């Protein structure tokens, strides 16, 4: 349905029927409108999208804006007037506002801040100074505060008055006079409790909270573990400085998964901008991918040496070269299977560095099973498909296969645990390291077997 | 802190001081107690953990139970009495109950169902029949229903009475007499609206909903897109059959990410049980990893042929063999970098199959930059480190490097898009396919360059 509307809108835009295109957009909710606008920016350029964006009712355009990815937001900001910018930024939820300001160039931020009321300017500046990816950078100051001596009725009346501007009213926070957080009450408790009961008698005092400097990964772990809608963020003196709501964590979880997946495959995002693939420049892409390739290249100097040392023997039984790609490839792939499972297990807390011996024992057995099966299949291949009836070659390849798989499983599972033990990120180091080590091990095993089974 | 308590509890358990161990556990909230119990099961076995579990206050033990991973739940069920099982299952939230029942053997499920009230038995049976990973399998029937002619005051009174048993009271659902969903009201709207206003005047009618057969991945996409706390689930006649709350989606998101990561590295979870690494049997591990290794092995028959065809030439310039591992390794790794970025881009909707040409153009340029840089570094390595001053070999290796990187980037980025275009899962097919294709391409390029630059 979204697809059809997009085609229709594109046609209307070509015919310069902007108002009819706008009406088509307005059939959808804000999240969908944002998705359509994204497509329009990609296909017809930013100018066309901005024309449409300006035709949206003001309150809707603010919502739509906050659903757009940050690079599209910056592009729109660059196209609209200062007055429009100021309006949008003023109307946005506080945490969305901070997200946008973080991405904008300093001169535009200054211009926007000039127009903000003094109090808010100060607050925005404080929030902009929290380190990226910290709890502080995710939070919003727009929460409901209650006093401990209020009754439930007073609290509900307060919420009725203040609720509109809060990010959530489902969790309310009780502070003492020194702004220290002393308890939490959920709206559901308020709603099911009698009007005359005091807040201090129903508030929860052993609540979970985050420190303002906590990494967003820890924050998202807590959301996953406890399943709360929102978590309070406190400073070093336990003063409540903001709250984080679950919807901001969904994005964090996705970004963290992306980072892990990329790192596991040798891509390091030096830019750290959460920019998408298509919006990242060619040079940035090259920079993100080069480091591991260069490190691997250096590692391959040693692999090259192993081959060179064996060159004379190889030239005697040149058929051996044909099996090198398969043995190295199988070793690398089977090692990275093991590494992947362990790295993911570490990330989801299913595996711990203390489990090293259990992992080792498991991988050795898995390695034996897989190694023997692949080895038997290989023997059949060599005999029937390749038609090589020299038992020395078959024995060399098949015994190598068993040992290579077992060693690759051991290396692949142990390296992530070791990396984790020394407090580095296993996703960052494990797979590329494994792919080079396993090649060297595969070739060493292969050549050792050749010396046993062949007259060289 | 959790670590210290765990050590303390372990010591107390060794001394058979069960009550003191229990008191130490009770310092924590239910999610943390569950985490500690998990560790105790891993380290001291299920019997020890069950002793502690039984000493917990009944209401807490139910909560703790619902936080445990499903294999630990099944283990505990196997150790406790039928009466205890019935109590726990009865007290659990409906959706957690279904999750547990799905994992239990049929005879235990029957025993539990016998003891349930007739109505609930029917409902449980319905829910157990929804396909795994469907919206139906995630939902709970415990939601708040309102009537459209009620006033806000009547609605709030209803919530006060019924709210305790609902999974969430923050979103309430309005049904017509035929049980069809006609609108949604959030508790925040109710709380900030005057008492006399009618529900039908404030309910939202263009709400987002899921079909009972929708895949959990689509459901989690909607949660990410809209940021709602809960989404209603309807059947084919638009009757409201249940709701899904965001906390169940956090688990789905993690499981989906794990599945993607594993598939991208050639591990297919045939078991599909969400069992952790350590709880999966050695045979299951072997089964999950063998298919791709076998397919790769077959693919390497062709790679082997490429080498065999070049054997005579290789034996003349045997030094060429030493660079094979590096060229194949670099090709494989750089191809899988590109594939990873595209697969992840497809998963997060940042890249679309329509973007194929833009991706191709970008990867070609990235390939040229990386290829040239690696090639220059390689030349220096060959000349200064390996001390090979034969310009033919240096030229062969260095020009091969440039072409291999460019081709690997193209193959790595295009295969996922093609796989997606034919509606298969790119994560499942791309990386292993790429690692075999890129080896064949790397060797073909290398040998072609050798024929140009060397007298063979």
Q: Which of A172, A282, A408 to mutate to test the interface with B (most CBs of B within 10 A)?
A: A282
Query: What is the distance in angstroms between the Cα of B114 and the nearest Cα belonging to chain A?
Result: 32
Instruction: Answer for the pair B179, B239: CB distance below 8 angstroms, yes or no.
Output: yes
Question: CA B122 to CA B233: how far, in whole Å?
Answer: 19
Residue A378 buriedness (CB in 10 A; 0-12 / 13-18 / 19+): buried
- CB nearest B325 (choices: A315, A328, A378): A328
Taking an 8 Å cut-off on Cβ atoms, the answer to whether A278 and B362 are in contact is: yes
The mean-pLDDT minimum among A161-165, A448-452, B334-338, B341-345 falls in A161-165
Is pLDDT of B1 > 80?
A: no
Is pLDDT of B274 > 80?
A: no
Name residue B172's beta-bridge partners: B144, B185
What is the pLDDT averaged over residues A356-373?
Answer: 95
Is pLDDT of A72 > 80?
A: yes
Look at A453 and A254; give whichever has higher pLDDT: A453
Is pLDDT of B356 > 90?
A: yes
Taking an 8 Å cut-off on Cβ atoms, the answer to whether A265 and B330 are in contact is: no
* pLDDT more than 90, % of chain A: 43
pLDDT for B2 equals: 79
Is pLDDT of A201 > 90?
A: yes
Taking CB atoms and an 8 Å cutoff, what residues of chain B touch A206?
A: 29
Is pLDDT of A274 > 70?
A: no
Which range has the top average pLDDT, A9-18, B362-371, B421-430?
A: B362-371
Comparing alpha-carbon positions, the chain B residue that sits nearest to A435 is B329
Question: CA B380 to CA B220: how far, in whole Å?
Answer: 51
Taking an 8 Å cut-off on Cβ atoms, the answer to whether B163 and A225 are in contact is: no
User: Got the DSSP string for A232-256?
Assistant: EEE-TT-BEEEEEEHHHHHHHHHHH
Taking CB atoms and an 8 Å cutoff, what residues of chain B touch A377?
A: 294, 297
What is the pLDDT averaged over residues A112-121?
Answer: 79
Which residues, other chains included, contact A340 with Cβ-Cβ below 8 Å and sequence gap of 6+? A264, A431, B261, B262, B264, B265, B267
Question: CA A246 to CA A168: how far, in whole Å?
Answer: 10
Closest CA to B451 of B313, B318, B311: B313
Cα torsion A320, A324, A330, A332: sign: positive
Is pLDDT of A388 > 70?
A: yes
Taking an 8 Å cut-off on Cβ atoms, the answer to whether B282 and A366 are in contact is: yes
Query: What is the distance in angstroms between the Cα of A294 and the nearest Cα belonging to chain B?
Result: 7
Query: What is the distance in angstroms between the Cα of B111 and the nearest Cα belonging to chain A?
Result: 31
Domains assigned to chain B: 2-129 (1.25.60.10), 144-249 (3.10.580.10), 303-453 (1.10.357.20)
- CB nearest B318 (choices: A225, A278, A315): A315
What is the pLDDT averaged over residues A12-18?
Answer: 88
Look at B161 and A401; give whichever has higher pLDDT: A401
Taking an 8 Å cut-off on Cβ atoms, the answer to whether B308 and A322 are in contact is: yes
Is pLDDT of B354 > 80?
A: yes
Is pLDDT of B5 > 90?
A: no
Query: What is the distance in angstroms between the Cα of B106 and the nearest Cα belonging to chain A?
Result: 27
Name residue B204's beta-bridge partners: B184
Name residue A146's beta-bridge partners: A174
Tokens standing for residue A216: 């967003």
The mean-pLDDT minimum among A80-89, A352-361, A373-382 falls in A80-89
Taking an 8 Å cut-off on Cβ atoms, the answer to whether A337 and B386 are in contact is: no
> What are the percentages of helix, strand and coil residues in chain A, rounded to 5?
70, 10, 20
Average pLDDT of the residues of chain B = 89
Phi-psi region of A68 (alpha: psi -120 to 50; beta: other; left: phi over 0): beta
pLDDT for A101 equals: 83
pLDDT for B165 equals: 75
What is the pLDDT averaged over residues B396-405?
Answer: 97
Comparing alpha-carbon positions, the chain B residue that sits nearest to A310 is B322
pLDDT for A125 equals: 80
Tokens standing for residue A327: 């043995």
Taking CB atoms and an 8 Å cutoff, what residues of chain B touch A339?
A: 265
Per residue in B55-69, pLDDT (tens digit) is 999 888 888 998 888
pLDDT for A278 equals: 85
Residue B47 buriedness (CB in 10 A; 0-12 / 13-18 / 19+): exposed
pLDDT for A286 equals: 92
Taking an 8 Å cut-off on Cβ atoms, the answer to whether B329 and A328 are in contact is: yes
Comparing alpha-carbon positions, the chain A residue that sits nearest to B265 is A337
Instruction: Answer for the pair B69, A351: CB distance below 8 angstroms, yes or no.
Output: no
Per residue in A91-110, pLDDT (tens digit) is 888 888 888 888 777 777 88
Taking CB atoms and an 8 Å cutoff, what residues of chain B touch A325?
A: 300, 303-304, 307, 324, 328, 439, 443
Is pLDDT of A431 > 80?
A: no
Is pLDDT of A271 > 80?
A: no
What is the pLDDT averaged over residues B37-48?
Answer: 86
Question: CA B58 to CA B64: how far, in whole Å?
Answer: 10
Taking an 8 Å cut-off on Cβ atoms, the answer to whether A35 and B225 are in contact is: yes
Instruction: Answer for the pair A367, A441: CB distance below 8 angstroms, yes or no.
Output: no
Question: CA A86 to CA A175: how far, in whole Å?
Answer: 33
Taking an 8 Å cut-off on Cβ atoms, the answer to whether A328 and B333 are in contact is: no
What is the pLDDT averaged over residues A43-54?
Answer: 88
Query: What is the distance in angstroms between the Cα of A369 and the nearest Cα belonging to chain B?
Result: 7
pLDDT for B3 equals: 81
Band (A450; pLDDT cuts 50, 70, 90): very high
Cα torsion B1, B3, B6, B12: sign: negative
The mean-pLDDT minimum among A156-160, B205-209, B253-257 falls in B253-257
Taking CB atoms and an 8 Å cutoff, what residues of chain B touch A334?
A: 289, 293
What is the pLDDT averaged over residues B382-389?
Answer: 88
- CB nearest B191 (choices: A187, A266, A359): A187
Taking CB atoms and an 8 Å cutoff, what residues of chain A touch B225?
A: 31, 35
Count interface pairs A-B at CB distance under 8 A.
320
Taking an 8 Å cut-off on Cβ atoms, the answer to whether A304 and B322 are in contact is: yes
Is pLDDT of B275 > 80?
A: no
Comparing alpha-carbon positions, the chain A residue that sits nearest to B356 is A278
Taking CB atoms and an 8 Å cutoff, what residues of chain B touch A257?
A: 253, 257, 261
Instruction: Answer for the pair B335, B434: CB distance below 8 angstroms, yes or no.
Output: yes
Query: What is the distance in angstroms between the Cα of A357 and the nearest Cα belonging to chain B?
Result: 11
Taking CB atoms and an 8 Å cutoff, what residues of chain A touch B264?
A: 261, 265, 340
Taking CB atoms and an 8 Å cutoff, what residues of chain A touch B344?
A: 258, 261-262, 277
* pLDDT more than 70, % of chain B: 99
User: Mapped to the 3 state alphabet, what secondary structure does chain B carry?
Assistant: CHHHHHHHHHHHHHCCCHHHHHHHHCCCCHHHHHHHHHHHHHHHCHHHHHHHHHHCCHHHHHHHHHHCCHHHHHHHHHHCCHHHHHHHHHHCCHHHHHHHHHHCCHHHHHHHHHHCCHHHHHHHHHHHCCCCCEHHHHCECCCEEECCCCEHHHHHHHHHHHHHHCCCCCEEEEECCCCEEEEEEEHHHHHHCCCCCEHHHHCECCCCCEECCCEHHHHHHHHHHHCCCEEEEECCCCEEEEEEEHHHHHHHHHHHHHHHHHHHCCCCCCCCCCCCCCCCCHHHHHHHHHHHHHHHHHHHHHHHHHHHHCHHHHHHCHHHHHHHHHHHHHHHHHHHHHHHHHHHHHHCCCCCHHHHHHHHHHHHHHHHHHHHHHHHHHHHHHHHHCCCCCHHHHHHHHHHHHHHHHHHHHHHHHHHHHHHHCCCCHHHHHHHHHHHHHHHHHHHHHHHHHHHHCCC
Is pLDDT of A111 > 90?
A: no
Taking CB atoms and an 8 Å cutoff, what residues of chain B touch A251?
A: 224
Is pLDDT of B273 > 70?
A: no
Per residue in A331-340, pLDDT (tens digit) is 999 999 999 9
Taking an 8 Å cut-off on Cβ atoms, the answer to whether B285 and A163 are in contact is: no
pLDDT for B167 equals: 81
Question: CA A197 to CA A14: how far, in whole Å?
Answer: 63
- CB nearest A369 (choices: B35, B160, B286): B286
What is the pLDDT averaged over residues B262-282?
Answer: 83
Q: Which of B99, B194, B286, B315 to mutate to test the interface with A (most CBs of A within 10 A)?
A: B286
Is pLDDT of B420 > 90?
A: yes
pLDDT for B96 equals: 83
What is the pLDDT averaged over residues B43-49?
Answer: 86
- CB nearest A340 (choices: B192, B262, B323): B262
pLDDT for B88 equals: 86
Taking an 8 Å cut-off on Cβ atoms, the answer to whether B297 and A443 are in contact is: no
pLDDT for A191 equals: 87
Query: What is the distance in angstroms between the Cα of A434 and the nearest Cα belonging to chain B?
Result: 11
Taking an 8 Å cut-off on Cβ atoms, the answer to whether A258 and B292 are in contact is: no
Taking an 8 Å cut-off on Cβ atoms, the answer to whether A345 and B443 are in contact is: no
What is the pLDDT averaged over residues A263-270?
Answer: 88
What is the pLDDT averaged over residues A77-81?
Answer: 86
pLDDT for B285 equals: 92
Question: CA A130 to CA A152: how far, in whole Å?
Answer: 35
What is the pLDDT averaged over residues B124-152?
Answer: 88
Band (B272; pLDDT cuts 50, 70, 90): low
What is the pLDDT averaged over residues B347-361?
Answer: 90
């Amino acid at each position: 349905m979204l697809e059809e509307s997009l085609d229709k809108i594109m046609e209307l835009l070509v015919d310069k029927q902007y108002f009819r295109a706008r009406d088509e957009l307005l059939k959808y909710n804000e999240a969908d409108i944002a998705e359509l606008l994204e497509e329009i920016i990609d296909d017809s350029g930013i100018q066309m999208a901005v024309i449409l964006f300006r035709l949206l009712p003001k309150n809707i355009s603010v919502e739509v804006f906050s659903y757009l990815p940050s690079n599209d937001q910056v592009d729109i900001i660059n196209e609209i007037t200062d007055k429009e910018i100021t309006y949008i930024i003023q109307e946005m939820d506080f945490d969305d506002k901070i997200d946008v300001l973080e991405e904008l160039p300093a001169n535009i931020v200054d211009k926007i801040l000039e127009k903000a009321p003094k109090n808010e300017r100060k607050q925005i500046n404080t929030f902009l100074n929290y380190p990226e990816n910290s709890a502080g950078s995710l939070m919003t100051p727009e929460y409901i505060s209650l006093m401990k001596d209020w009754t439930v009725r007073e609290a509900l009346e307060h919420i009725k008055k203040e609720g509109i501007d809060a990010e959530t009213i489902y969790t309310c926070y009780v502070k003492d006079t020194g702004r220290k957080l002393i308890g939490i009450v959920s709206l559901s408790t308020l709603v099911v409790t009698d009007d005359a009961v005091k807040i201090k008698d129903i508030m929860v005092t052993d609540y979970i909270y985050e420190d303002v400097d906590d990494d967003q990964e820890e924050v998202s772990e807590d959301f996953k573990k406890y399943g709360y809608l929102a978590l309070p963020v406190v400073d070093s003196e336990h003063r409540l400085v903001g709250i984080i709501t679950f919807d901001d964590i969904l994005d964090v979880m996705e970004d963290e998964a992306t980072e892990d997946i990329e790192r596991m495959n040798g891509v390091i995002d030096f830019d750290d901008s959460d920019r998408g693939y298509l919006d990242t420049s060619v040079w940035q892409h090259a920079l993100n991918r080069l480091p591991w390739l260069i490190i691997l290249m250096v590692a391959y100097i040693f692999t090259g040496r192993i081959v060179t040392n064996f060159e004379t023997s190889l030239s005697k039984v040149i058929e051996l070269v044909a099996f090198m790609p398969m043995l190295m490839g199988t070793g690398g792939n089977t090692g990275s299977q093991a590494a992947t499972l362990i790295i993911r297990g570490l990330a989801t807390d299913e595996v711990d560095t203390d489990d090293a011996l259990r992992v080792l024992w498991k991988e050795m057995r898995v390695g034996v099973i897989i190694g023997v099966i692949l080895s038997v299949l290989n023997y059949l291949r060599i005999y029937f498909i390749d038609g090589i009836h020299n038992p020395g070659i078959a024995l060399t390849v098949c015994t190598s296969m068993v040992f290579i798989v077992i060693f690759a499983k051991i290396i692949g599972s142990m390296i992530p645990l070791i990396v984790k033990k020394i407090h580095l990120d296993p996703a960052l180091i494990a797979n590329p390291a494994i792919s080079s080590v396993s090649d060297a091990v595969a070739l060493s095993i292969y050549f050792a077997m050749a010396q046993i089974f062949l007259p060289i």
